[in-house]
Amino acid sequence: MINFIIQHKYLSFFTPIIVILLLAIGTKNLAFTNDYHIFFSSDNPQLIAFDNLQDTYNKTDSILIGLRDTSGIFTNKNLKAIADITTKAWQTPFSTRVDSLANYQHTFANGDDLLVIDLIDTENELNAGQIDEIASNEVLLKNRLITSQKDTTGINITIQLPNNEKLATKGQDEVVAFARNLRDEIKKDYPQFEVFLSGIVMLNQAFPEAGQEDIKSLIPLAFLIVFVLLFVVLGNIFLVLGSLILLVFAVIGSFGSVGHLGLPITPVMTSLPVIILTIAVAGSVHLMMSFVKKMRNGTDKIKAIKEAFEHNVHAITIAGITTAIGFFGLNFSEVPPFHDLGNAAAIGTLLSLILTLVFLPAWILVLPIKIKTKKIQKTHLMLKFSTFVIRSYKKILVFSLLAVIVFVSFIPLNEINDNFVEYFDERVEFRRDADKVDKYLTGIGSIDYSFKSGEAGGVANPEFLASVEKFTNWARKQSEVNNVSSITDIFKRLNKNMHGDDETYYKLPQNRELSAQYLLLYEMSLPYGLDLNNQINIDKSAIRVSVNMKNMSSKGYLGFENKADNWLKNNTPKIHTSGASPSIMFAHIGLRNVHAMLIGTAITLIVISIILGFILRSFKMGLISLVPNLIPVSMAFGLWALTNGQISMAISVVASITLGIIVDDTVHFLDKFNYGLKTLGRSAKKSVAYAFEHVGHALILSSVALTAGFLVLIGSVFEINSGMGWLTSYVIVIALIMDFLLLPSLLIFFNKSQSKNSKG
């Protein structure tokens, strides 16, 4: 292959460029997605349950405008402002409903008549004191639209976006832009309010905005780090420039492939450039360092690149293929964006492999690269280190075993946990506002229950309503719950109203026909946009009860879900159902992903080891390669338990990602060891020394590049990327230590028989 490149250097130079340009055409199809549904596969049971709920009742995607005045909400000035803001909120694009203190439908009796009015009405039927008393005692408002401290209120805008994905994306942008403009108007017109925006719509918008922020900040930093590393090591501007062009081509080709495949750009995908940069530089550095070393020894350029190529092509190819396999292993994930990241990273890895083996040698041959000759002595550091390992390999094996046992013992301390609000750090506006909403008003998360009566019109059945009320009362007593919205409270209020507002009648009607009449009378009195379709289905056979939760991790949501499920089974088995919501979806996805990735990682590890054994023509080598690749991941998760302890859906995929990456160093070391043992006929100990001499420095540099690259990700505003950056860096550093200590010790221990028959 290298002879062909030497003979056709211009063809080898321009062909990869043309291929990359063709791939780059796909970048015109790139688009950010702003829908949290992208994190769930179409067969995800929690997503299916939630979609069924959304199809049964009105959708509940919304924006919550929080208004806080520490001097109190219930003043004439503030109440008038709330009414004005509520009116303006109706102008939000794609809005179908606005709920606030202003238009809360207050009911009361006037003789034999039922009156339904806005709580804050234009005719001032109620003064500020009366509004305060009503709102503060209304269970449907407390800790939902007004706090017990009476200093914070909310205006909830329900949004119905088009079903078409492109129109929905455009509509989402319009909705958020309007909401932010409205927020700015509120701050200007009513400076007494602290204003914050939250809700599912703002969560959706936070995903692409976080991704765009990462691209602007992380990619330049990654390029800067790579440039500095390459310049320090190579010391030749043409070689550094060639390497940087290779990296740019690999990134462009990867994103172009993403565009051609029609994959969406998610916040997870924004880590792709950094991953490709680090993988590409780690792969090319072996070829470049070998070339520079030979040039400094006085070898002419053509011979130097030929020998460097022949000396490294085997290991570079194996490393590239196994790294790609590791990324393809992400297809086992339960989270579709990780499928996309894995496939795109695998394509980028293979592109960087081809560019390293074709474009880079051609670049060296075409450009006037000159490197000063200087005598290079054997590196004392590598010589001393290899001597230490060879002499102490038995002790190293024992200490390595002890270290593994210690760190692995900490793994059970990890908890599978996710908090979708905390996917974003505090630099993201959504995170700051969501924290304020949770602190001052209510949680962003909820769990919805659809209770079925089993018959049309069954929502008026007293027995059915009594069961729903029992659950409502139980849920309100739970420490995790902020508020429960249940139509049973409306039935009780209507019953009281129709009995002259007698408090003793604040209970469910005991007559089905009476309940149906109350409901009909109430619905006919409701203004446009404030109907009960968000709580009752069309044929009035089912009721939706919304349990608003405090901001919790997935562990908290799963705990409540299990507790509620058991309560329903034991107390109201006839209406037993499961909860559904985005909060429940995110709570389950981490656990599902861990289980899926355990299987995927095991399969990936076996495949990589089989490939190594086949290529190295040694089943024993394949088995030995398992150890330094499996141990770093295990030890890193033990270290993670001590430093963090939370396994999110991102952390659960790190094992598969890193398996393909850390195997690179193992491959290069095994390749040189195998060459010394079988081709040169040296003993196992001499072969270990040979491997250290020829790839020791390159392994350190590639590991430094990989670690630095993934550490760039810790600067991400998206926790999924930053957590992945931290843990991957742990794995890479531990893997380098294992490749320098444990791997050579294992090779010596398991190749004693060859040593007796060797030349040296």
Local structure of residue 652 (DSSP, 8 states): G
pLDDT-derived band at 83, boundaries 50, 70, 90: very high
* End-to-end Cα separation, the chain, in angstroms: 33
Is residue 215, in this structure, part of any structural domain at all?
no
Q: What residue type is assigned to position 56 of the chain?
A: T
Given a cut of 80, whether residue 41 has pLDDT beyond it is yes
| Least confident range of 47-56, 217-226, 636-645, 649-658 | 649-658
Q: What's residue 513's pLDDT?
A: 93
Contact (CB, 8 A) for 26 and 252: no
Separation between Cα atoms, residue 113 and residue 540, nearest integer Å: 25
Given a cut of 70, whether residue 755 has pLDDT beyond it is no
Q: Give the residue from 580, 609, 641 where a domain finishes.
A: 580
Is residue 372, in this structure, part of any structural domain at all?
yes
3-state class of 400 per DSSP? helix
β-strand partners of 108: 115
Q: Are residues 249 and 363 in the same domain?
A: yes
pLDDT, mean of residues 30-52: 87
Chain center to CA of 14: 38
Sign of the Cα torsion 548, 550, 551, 554 reads negative
Percent of the chain with pLDDT over 90: 43
Given a cut of 90, whether residue 20 has pLDDT beyond it is yes
Is residue 225, in this structure, part of any structural domain at all?
no
pLDDT, mean of residues 651-667: 81
Structure-token match 């030979």, residue found: 294
Closest listed residue to residue 731, CA positions, set 660, 670, 668, 669: 660
Is residue 396, in this structure, part of any structural domain at all?
yes
Q: What's residue 733's pLDDT?
A: 92
Q: Are residues 464 and 601 in the same domain?
A: no
Task: Read off the pLDDT of residues 439-469 as tens digits, 9 standing for 90 and up.
Answer: 888 888 899 999 999 999 999 999 999 999 9
Mean pLDDT of the chain: 88
We report the CATH number of the domain holding residue 652 as 1.20.1640.10
Task: Read off the pLDDT of residues 565-583 as tens digits, 9 standing for 90 and up.
Answer: 999 999 999 999 999 998 8
pTM given for the model: 0.83
Q: What's residue 47's pLDDT?
A: 92
Separation between Cα atoms, residue 308 and residue 232, nearest integer Å: 20
Is residue 45, in this structure, part of any structural domain at all?
no
Task: Read off the pLDDT of residues 731-745 as tens digits, 9 standing for 90 and up.
Answer: 999 999 999 999 999
User: Of all helices (H) and strands (E), which one includes residue 416?
Assistant: strand 415-416
Task: State the number of CA atoms in the 13 A half-sphere of 300 facing the CB.
Answer: 2
Q: Give the residue from 376, 396, 427 where a domain finishes.
A: 376
Exposed, middle or buried by CB within 10 Å (0-12, 13-18, 19+), for 181? Answer: exposed
Task: Read off the pLDDT of residues 623-635 as tens digits, 9 standing for 90 and up.
Answer: 777 788 788 989 9
pLDDT-derived band at 379, boundaries 50, 70, 90: low
Separation between Cα atoms, residue 558 and residue 545, nearest integer Å: 18
Total domain count for the chain? 3
Contact (CB, 8 A) for 520 and 532: no
Torsion-angle region of 494 (φ positive above 0: left; ψ -120 to 50: alpha; else: beta) = alpha
Q: Are residues 240 and 353 in the same domain?
A: yes
pLDDT-derived band at 26, boundaries 50, 70, 90: very high
Is residue 37, in this structure, part of any structural domain at all?
no
Q: What's residue 455's pLDDT?
A: 93
Determine the Cα angle at 174 with ends 171 and 180, to 5°. Answer: 140
> What is the SS3 assignment for 509-542?
CCCHHHHHHHHHHHHHHCCCCCCCCCCECCCCCE
Q: Are residues 710 and 597 in the same domain?
A: yes
Local structure of residue 358 (DSSP, 8 states): I
| Least confident range of 274-283, 382-391, 398-407, 471-480 | 274-283
Separation between Cα atoms, residue 440 and residue 457, nearest integer Å: 39
Separation between Cα atoms, residue 185 and residue 402, nearest integer Å: 64
Q: Are residues 703 and 662 in the same domain?
A: yes
Separation between Cα atoms, residue 100 and residue 613, nearest integer Å: 67
Q: Are residues 560 and 675 in the same domain?
A: no
Q: What's residue 313's pLDDT?
A: 86
Q: Are residues 371 and 483 in the same domain?
A: no
How far apart, in Å, are the Cα atoms of 358 and each of 14, 256, 411? 10, 20, 43
Separation between Cα atoms, residue 486 and residue 15, nearest integer Å: 66
Separation between Cα atoms, residue 186 and residue 193, nearest integer Å: 8
Is residue 18, in this structure, part of any structural domain at all?
no
Given a cut of 70, whether residue 21 has pLDDT beyond it is yes
Q: Are residues 574 and 689 in the same domain?
A: no
- Neighbour-count burial for 151-161, b at 16+ CB within 10 Å, e otherwise: bbbbbbbbbeb
Separation between Cα atoms, residue 737 and residue 700, nearest integer Å: 10
Torsion, CA 145, CA 148, CA 152, CA 155, rounded to 10: 0
Separation between Cα atoms, residue 9 and residue 39, nearest integer Å: 45
pLDDT-derived band at 758, boundaries 50, 70, 90: low
Q: What's residue 753's pLDDT?
A: 60
User: Of all helices (H) and strands (E), which one includes residue 484?
Assistant: strand 481-485
Q: Are residues 342 and 404 in the same domain?
A: no
Given a cut of 60, whether residue 247 has pLDDT beyond it is yes
Helix 429-440 × helix 200-234 angle, to 10°:
140
Is residue 10, in this structure, part of any structural domain at all?
no
Q: What's residue 316's pLDDT?
A: 86
Contact (CB, 8 A) for 161 and 168: yes
Separation between Cα atoms, residue 77 and residue 59, nearest integer Å: 33
Contact (CB, 8 A) for 283 and 319: yes
Q: Give the residue from 526, 547, 580 where a domain finishes.
A: 580
pLDDT, mean of residues 385-406: 91
Q: Are residues 384 and 334 in the same domain?
A: no
Task: Read off the pLDDT of residues 54-73 as tens digits, 9 standing for 90 and up.
Answer: 888 877 789 999 999 999 99
Task: State the number of CA atoms in the 13 A half-sphere of 739 facing the CB.
Answer: 31
Q: What's residue 609's pLDDT?
A: 79
Contact (CB, 8 A) for 668 and 315: yes
β-strand partners of 547: 447, 484
Structure tokens of 662? 């850390």
Q: Are residues 590 and 721 in the same domain?
A: yes
pLDDT-derived band at 190, boundaries 50, 70, 90: very high
Q: What's residue 195's pLDDT?
A: 95
Chain center to CA of 139: 36
Q: Are residues 601 and 528 in the same domain?
A: no
Determine the Cα angle at 685 with ends 683 and 691, to 5°. Answer: 100
pLDDT-derived band at 382, boundaries 50, 70, 90: confident
pLDDT-derived band at 158, boundaries 50, 70, 90: very high
Exposed, middle or buried by CB within 10 Å (0-12, 13-18, 19+), for 514? Answer: middle
Domain residues for the domain of 476 are 446-580
Task: Read off the pLDDT of residues 674-710 as tens digits, 9 standing for 90 and up.
Answer: 888 888 888 889 999 998 988 888 888 888 888 888 8
